[in-house]
Amino acid sequence: MPPLTDISDLSGKTVLVLGGTAEGRALAAALADPVVPPFRVISSLAGRTREPLRPAGEVRIGGFGGVGGLVDYLRAERVDVLVDATHPFAEQISANASAASAATGLPLLVLRRPGWTEQPGDDWRRVPSLEAAAALLPHLGRRIFLTTGRQGIAAFADATECWFLARSVEPPTPPMPLHLEVLLDRGPFTVEGELRLLRDHGIDVLVSKDSGGADAKLVAARRRDIPVVLIDRPAAPPAAVLAGSVEEAVAWLRS
């Protein structure tokens, strides 16, 4: 990461944060801190949830209409730095951000929390996709806890031999598994709560994306000796500066 310089050079700079994650909200709050020379912070949310958690600073909700729309927005708002703080599996917007950065010459910072690391006692199967996870499930168990988000549930629609408990912020849309119970909830979650959920629903397999961050469900699965099917995250966009924490991102933006 480049050395830090005088942060007074930052006063008035405009930063567009492609957010929707806890890291995106934390970054917006840090950049809007009145103690330091302020950025103009704009957070863009995809609008896929009806009641999103709103970050500090300006907020826009909705898509851009592809790379061209994002480029037009960057120019119209005189953005100085583009930050991709979206979910590690939000491949399309990340690809669009990379292309828009190349088209405009704006620096692109990708804020990605580190993925999970297997611990002693874990029983993990890493797979490259949701479809690969669905194909593996009949060999592992019959009562599945899905924590892949509502958009990932469709990949399990043909797994008719399994029963699924799916947790998401918003209700899923078809296609869906034949035997499905949906739990609408938003984290953070506790280890005790996850242990109770696994026990009460008789869960024998956990399926999740390697999104990193809080790992209460993984700890609970370890304690109950439940196998985990973990979907590997896609590679970060090319030609981007990578930060693994909000602190690293702020340090780079101040340089």
Q: Examine the domain organization and report whether 85 and 181 are in the same domain.
A: no
Q: What is the 3-state secondary structure (H, E, C) of 162-219?
A: CEEEEEECCCCCCCCCCCEEEEECCCCCCHHHHHHHHHHCCCCEEEEECCCCCCHHHH
Question: Is residue 143 located within the same domain as residue 180?
Answer: yes
**Domain identity same for 31 and 91:** yes
Instruction: Give the Å distances, CA to CA, from 182 to 93, 154, 164, 198.
Output: 27, 13, 8, 14
Q: How do residues 50-90 score in pLDDT, each as one tens digit? A: 777 889 889 999 999 999 999 999 999 999 999 999 999 98
185-241: pLDDT as tens digits: 988 899 999 999 999 999 999 999 999 988 999 999 999 999 999 999 988 777 679
The percent of residues above 70 in pLDDT, for the chain, comes to 93
Contacts of 181 (CB under 8 A, 6+ apart): 163, 164, 165, 166, 201
247 and 223 in a common domain: no
2 found inside a domain:
no
Confidence (pTM): 0.82
Task: Mention every residue, 6+ apart, whose C-beta is less than 8 A from residue 59.
Answer: 42, 43, 44, 45
pLDDT of residue 34: 66
Residues 157, 108 share a domain: no
Model pLDDT, residue 11 = 55
CATH number at residue 13: 3.40.50.720
pLDDT number for residue 238: 73
Lowest mean pLDDT among 6-20, 55-69, 100-114: 6-20
Domain span holding position 48? 7-114+235-253
Residues 20 and 97 in one domain: yes
Decide if 40 is inside a domain. Answer: yes
Does the residue 190 lie in any domain? Answer: yes
Q: In the chain, how many domains are there?
A: 2
Q: Say if 119 falls within a structural domain.
A: no
Q: Are residues 110 and 139 in the same domain?
A: no
106 lies in the same domain as 175: no
Domain-located, residue 219: yes
pLDDT at position 111 over 70: yes
Packing angle between helix 191-200 and helix 216-223, nearest 10 degrees? 50
Query: Is 97 found in the same domain as 36?
Result: yes
| pLDDT score recorded for residue 52 | 79
Task: Say if 1 falls within a structural domain.
Answer: no
Is the domain of 242 the same as that of 199?
no
Which residues 6+ apart lie within 8 Å of 98 measured at CB?
84, 108, 237, 238, 239, 240
